[in-house]
Amino acid sequence: MMVSVKVVPDAKREQIQAGLDGSLKVWLRARPKEGKANQALTELLSKYYSVSRSQIHIISGRTSRNKIVEIEK
């Protein structure tokens, strides 16, 4: 399953908000340095979808706030 994700790094809280079109907006406490925000994103999405972190792959947008994420189920 492919999901469009908009990431808000360095937020005060961690939260996921689902859009009507299936996209997600994700607030992360981690800063976007040295891949820490991407690691936090995969961890939070693994809890949200109840899958392991190895089943979540960032397909595009690794250095952007707008990402396409693949989730293997």
Q: Could you give all domains of the chain from N- to C-terminal order, each with its CATH number? A: 2-71 (3.30.1200.10)
**Tell me, what DSSP letter sits at residue 42?**
H
Q: Kindly tell me the sign of the dihedral angle through the C-alpha atoms of 62, 35, 21, 71.
A: positive
Residue spans of beta strands (DSSP E) within the chain: 2-8, 15-18, 24-27, 56-60, 66-71
Predicted pLDDT of residue 73: 83
The parts of the chain modelled with pLDDT lower than 50 are none
